[in-house]
Amino acid sequence: MRLEPPVPVSREEYVLNVRDIEPLLQGYPMDTKPWPDATIKLRTGKTMYIRAARIDEAKTLMSYVRQVMDVEHDFYDIVGARVYAEILGWYRKRIKDPYLMVGMIDGKLAGLVNGRLMNEDINISLHTMTFERGGRLGAALFYCKAYYAFEILGQKEFWSTYESYNGWRIGFLGMAAPSYPWPDVQHELGGARVYYITRKYWDQAVKKYSEELVGDALNFDVPDEIVKANQELVLPDDVTV
């Protein structure tokens, strides 16, 4: 858009360096604690190792999630498309204060969870995806994300919404999570309802419910051999969702 200047000017053109523009588009990240390595024993008897994803793994993750976009049942196509965009936003620094954790079982990617921080008080849950059936992996990874918000970051609220019926059943119905008035308050994923958990409700009920649902609590004393065995992001052989 161009408008004529209301006064005479001595210089009509200015050259901008993109390095001066980038801080306006990217913003500065909050100073937050990273997710600490953890393990959790699943109901299948397997142990899942949950660690923070590395930025150099973004393209590998996107190559797998791209395939999920072709799955046309249970809303995996839209979830896949949105997760792909969220990982790309993380990679290109176009999402505010994101976090992404991967769940590894026997040296292979079994699932991922991601979200972002609206501010110091509010954690926005984005997505939980699992690539191995059984063992309540999704519940375990969702538990990790809420644990990160309340126990590691000390935040006051955890906001979620759901595209799929199964996610809604576990995350909202199972946890009896309240929701904010809609459409007054909307989640950034399509303007859907915001289901939220407060720190008080987490302490009173949700933490215990999550541990009972999964069958175990998080263990942050991770053996070195597990860390070493899961440093390389090995993708599943097939797309199982």
**What pairs with residue 117 in β-bridges?**
123
Question: What's the pLDDT band for 171 if we cut at 50, 70, 90?
Answer: confident
Q: Does residue 88 sit within a domain?
A: yes
Q: Does residue 87 sit within a domain?
A: yes
Q: Does residue 187 sit within a domain?
A: yes
Q: Does residue 188 sit within a domain?
A: yes
Question: What's the pLDDT band for 46 if we cut at 50, 70, 90?
Answer: very high
- CATH number for 82: 3.40.630.30
Instruction: Write the pLDDT tens digit of every residue in 87-136.
Output: 999 999 999 999 999 999 999 999 999 999 999 999 999 999 999 888 89
Per-residue pLDDT, 222: 97
Residue 172 has pLDDT above 90, yes or no: no
Q: How many domains does the chain have?
A: 1
Q: Does residue 50 sit within a domain?
A: yes
The predicted model scores a pTM of 0.94
Q: Considering the chain, what is the average pLDDT of its residues?
A: 95
Domain residues for the domain of 110 are: 36-229
